[in-house]
Structure 1
């Protein structure tokens, strides 16, 4: 089969299309003919040599999500038939013509979604949905979403609207905030480089946003932090008492200083979450909840994935360059 292979750590041009062995499905596994996938920040980190694939996933083929047709069933697989349209998450290997997945982690693709749209769904909507569940987000809560124009950010805005949450957001440009408003964000703030580089200014900007535009005027009940770095500590000052911060991404850095006194006084919760390293049974539970609670909304058109640009697998280098530009709104999708 054809796959995008990381030949060595480095910039986008270290990626090459190569013929590699087609994987063989094991017990209770499916072989899926991939029709579309999408890029994520983790793919960039893996390509640079900073985010190794978990055990069992290809070490040199990136790709954390897939949408395609069941091509073959492994021993004991009974939940699907050949030709069924499925999508889901994998530890790696999604940027190839075929991928092997456990049958209970696969979810049926709604008829309303074509292949590019289906490829744009799994990582964004599963991550956003799972984070809001872990944060115990409830109707009437205010949720602050960093990197609100990203794939996960725009999925979270739409989920917030459906769940009766008030969505606020941050982005680096006013144009990206406009895209988020079109999906249901109530208010947002564009953070300049100067503000981001000055921790007191960043904290003041976030606090002003959530206290002026939050549902109760007390700050954010939930923060979805897709950025990390200085954003995490600044967010503590923008939170309501008993607020819950979900740390999802580390685009701005993996290290930072936390105001522990603020956490104590506000009785705040800071929790990290990642999909890739979860055990099989936990992944199965997560995907079942996604299938039950999110997929019907995608099927009805109540929510939709946001596609920034579509590339073919042969254009993998250009796709990585596009995501690295930080100009994207929504998902960079690959057709296979």
Structure 2
């Protein structure tokens, strides 16, 4: 093993604002602590929380890296005490606590997965954040099962393309919302039985028609307050609304009578603040239940575009157009 460099290129957030506050510079290479691995990053996923962090709306939790980047793939460059699963140079992907926008990143070994032999590191970098989030929220918290109905908002986002495919692969039926005819076509191409252009249609009416008035079993929502009432109306009896993000206002009035009469469940989560053991449990579930579907070709990793690490600002600008379909990924070099 060659000696590690002392410094690395990393993209930091300098101030609060638009993509221009993402600035590449030199940082010390981090040293793995107990239970951690150091990844030589080949690719890192770009996610909406990175944009919110850049704007000053989603600060890194205490003790986490202040560099953006919640997922990465590459090879193991060093291991900390007690980290025994992965050998040096093993190809891995990981859900990170931050720091992915860099040439080297620390990962908790518990939240690190092996990269299957036929998978590129760019594809691998696009897996952890979306697939961990979807598995945990749609299947563990939302309890979606074969034969059930799922409503996915933002069907062409990284989360959306993942949720559609996983639900279909596991025998569920999906209705997705998107903002253009092209995006709706993409949702249908991924297996959704109905795609709703939210700029032209009421998704509640579409759900009602598609399910013959029954409603869906699970709603995966990224919009929040503005959609709350229609999300609840879209649910079948005993349905579950799972919220993983919000756009605009986070507070809304809740009709408790509707919850009581239909026995609904409203829940939500965010992964970044969860303890390592929780993330590790999700990682093991994804490794057992999801990676085999990807390897078998039943679910694919949808990449919208790639940008060199130093062009992280351009990657954020692409995300903010909301024209992307699938994941945006930063690459080394």
Same fold per TM (> 0.5)? yes
Q: How does 1:35-184 map to 2 (within 5 A)?
A: 35-59=42-66, 61-133=67-139, 134-184=141-191
- Asked if the contact 2:110–2:277 (Cα under 8 Å) also holds between the matched residues in 1, the reply is no
How many residues align? The count is: 324
Residues in 2 aligned to 1:92 and 1:82: alpha-carbon distance in whole angstroms: 22
Residues in 2 aligned to 1:187 and 1:242: alpha-carbon distance in whole angstroms: 22
Instruction: Name the SS for the 2:29 alignment partner.
Output: coil
Structure 1 segments of 4 or more deviating over 3 A? none
The answer for the alignment partner of 1:258 in structure 2 is 254
Instruction: Give the one of 20, 28, 36 matched to 1:21.
Output: 28
Instruction: Give the one of 203, 206, 215 matched to 1:206.
Output: 203
Instruction: Name the SS for the 2:154 alignment partner.
Output: coil
Residues in 1 aligned to 2:267 and 2:77: alpha-carbon distance in whole angstroms: 38
The answer for the alignment partner of 1:335 in structure 2 is 331
- 1:286 paired with 2:282, answer yes
Residues in 1 aligned to 2:127 and 2:115: alpha-carbon distance in whole angstroms: 10
Residues in 2 aligned to 1:155 and 1:222: alpha-carbon distance in whole angstroms: 15
How large is the Cα RMSD of the aligned pairs? 1.3
- 1:246 paired with 2:242, answer yes
Residues in 1 aligned to 2:93 and 2:266: alpha-carbon distance in whole angstroms: 31
The answer for the alignment partner of 1:273 in structure 2 is 269
The answer for the alignment partner of 2:4 in structure 1 is none
- Asked if the contact 1:54–1:277 (Cα under 8 Å) also holds between the matched residues in 2, the reply is yes
TM-score by length of 2: 0.94
Residue 115 of structure 1 and its aligned partner are, at CA, apart by 1.6
Structure 2: gaps of 5 or more residues:
1-7
- Asked if the contact 1:110–1:298 (Cα under 8 Å) also holds between the matched residues in 2, the reply is no
Residue 231 of structure 1 and its aligned partner are, at CA, apart by 1.3
Residues in 1 aligned to 2:328 and 2:304: alpha-carbon distance in whole angstroms: 5
Residues in 1 aligned to 2:273 and 2:12: alpha-carbon distance in whole angstroms: 21
TM-score by length of 1: 0.93
Residue 217 of structure 1 and its aligned partner are, at CA, apart by 4.1
- Asked if the contact 1:111–1:299 (Cα under 8 Å) also holds between the matched residues in 2, the reply is no
Residues in 1 aligned to 2:241 and 2:248: alpha-carbon distance in whole angstroms: 16
Residue 299 of structure 1 and its aligned partner are, at CA, apart by 1.5
Instruction: Name the SS for the 1:222 alignment partner.
Output: strand
1:130-156 Cα shifts (integer Å, max 9, x gaps): 112211111111100000111111101
1:163-197 Cα shifts (integer Å, max 9, x gaps): 110000111112111111111000021011xx7xx
1:195-233 Cα shifts (integer Å, max 9, x gaps): 7xxxxxx8xx2222222212x640011100022131122
Instruction: Name the SS for the 2:28 alignment partner.
Output: coil
Residue 129 of structure 1 and its aligned partner are, at CA, apart by 1.2
- 1:319 paired with 2:312, answer no
